[in-house]
Amino acid sequence: MTSTAINSKILLFSLFFNSFNKIIFKFSGLHIFCCRCQSHPINAGNRLYEIYPTTDSGWYPEFDEKRFPYYPSKIENIIHPDNYSRLQSLVLPTASSKLIQLIFHGEFPRLKACHLGRCESIILPRSMTIQLQNLRQLTIRKQPGHVLEKILLIQEIANYLHRQCPLLKILVLCIHMRGHMLRDSSIEVYYQYGQCAVTAKYSKKNMKLTHRIMDMLDDLSIVYWPDCQSLLNVLRNETYNIWDQDVDLSIEWPFKSNHIHSKLNNLQLFIETFQSNDFNVEYYPDRKLFSLSSVNEKSARQPHVDIWLWKRYDEHEIKPVLQLFDSSLKYQSRLISDIYPLQSVTWLGRNVKIPKQSHKIAYKEYGTSYMKPIFIRNNCLHNLIDGRWFYNR
């Protein structure tokens, strides 16, 4: 979308009720079918169409002062300080650093929806005492700087808003990727409810992959159980965590000598068995971990299932244990009596087995709040770098 496609002058319209509570900068004549625009609900009812294109080229035409007397940078002049406490909706193609600072310093206490286009650099206030109590939607596009700088800025903004905006439902951040992670394109990153969720397609593919792996393990008579975050999902009657990038299963390995598939104690043969079932396999020897994904996909970045390999220590031991020394685990030495006999439960629409003392294991691993989902902010940057927020295969 270029300026030639915008065949009528830019209109600035303001909706007045008892107070001046909306400022919307609209391109007249911009059509949904030609700009791939989205509609965004504003103030719990009114919808803005054609104002927020999904493509940067439609959002930033080449403005001509003579043809378009309302150049975006001048729009801010009509936002009088007397209106700061009244403004509820703000939609602008550009925003100066001054306006950005006013917003993030909480100078618009009633602001509910804010969609900003080309923004100057954002510097967050050091003080975290001001609350943006009413902000529900925020869009930030076209930030200057290197891609990595913008990714780090997104993380900082997300953390800040997570604390400052209790009602925030949607945060949309746009990064232009050129030769980074994905093909040259503009990517919109969505936070929902203050959480950095992976996409629905990513999660669905992960669930399908999990069923395939469980079927394979059942066919091989390999005993397994959900572990880590996946064990929490079972205990909470959840399918999965919307921000979790994988599914975790555990097995006891090496197998006992009388196991029907004891030959799989040969690591290379074990890997080849997974591969023969159409899985991509990555093995991390230091972590005693298999990471399985669909063929031709790298487990770390794509939907994947981790299989943890726990080793039994029971000779000359008063209390036999399963051990796995990985830095990501707190409870690294688990009593065998806490694991076996496994208990049958229903998860993902099928019967699975979980440790006998699952609640004890979850408590030792995650503490007293293990039954309450807790958002780990570091997952945001992790999921963004690996492209899980916009996974669309």
Contact 221, 261 (CB under 8 A): yes
**Residue 308, SS3 per DSSP:** strand
Which phi and psi (to 5°) does residue 270 adopt? -60, -45
Residue indicated by tokens 């002058």: 9
Whole-angstrom Cα Rg for the chain: 26
| Angular region, 181: left φ>0, alpha ψ -120 to 50, beta rest | left
Give the containing element (helix H, strand E) for 141: strand 137-141
122 vs 119: CA distance, rounded Å:
8
Please give the model's pTM, rounded to 2 decimal places. 0.56
Report DSSP state, residue 116. Answer: E
| Angular region, 316: left φ>0, alpha ψ -120 to 50, beta rest | left
52 vs 39: CA distance, rounded Å:
7
199 vs 383: CA distance, rounded Å:
10
Hey, what amino acid is at 230?
S
148-204 pLDDT, tens digit each:
566 556 666 666 666 667 676 666 665 554 444 333 334 444 444 444 566 677 788
Q: Print pLDDT tens along the chain (393 aa).
A: 444 333 333 222 232 222 345 555 444 443 333 334 444 444 433 443 334 444 444 444 444 444 444 454 555 666 777 778 888 888 777 777 778 778 878 888 888 878 777 666 666 666 655 567 788 777 776 655 555 566 556 666 666 666 667 676 666 665 554 444 333 334 444 444 444 566 677 788 889 999 999 999 999 999 999 999 899 999 999 887 766 778 999 999 999 888 888 999 999 999 999 999 999 999 999 999 999 999 877 666 688 999 999 999 986 667 899 999 998 899 999 999 999 999 999 999 999 999 999 999 999 998 998 888 765 545 555 555 455 444 556
17 vs 112: CA distance, rounded Å:
16
User: Where does the chain have alpha helices with state H?
Assistant: 32-35, 56-59, 72-75, 97-104, 147-164, 200-219, 228-235, 267-276, 336-339, 358-366, 378-385
Peptide linkage before 125 cis (omega within 30 of 0): no
Query: What structural domains does the chain harbor?
Result: 3-192 (no CATH), 200-374 (3.30.460.40)
Residue indicated by tokens 């690294």: 332
Q: Which residues pair with 282 in a beta bridge?
A: 291
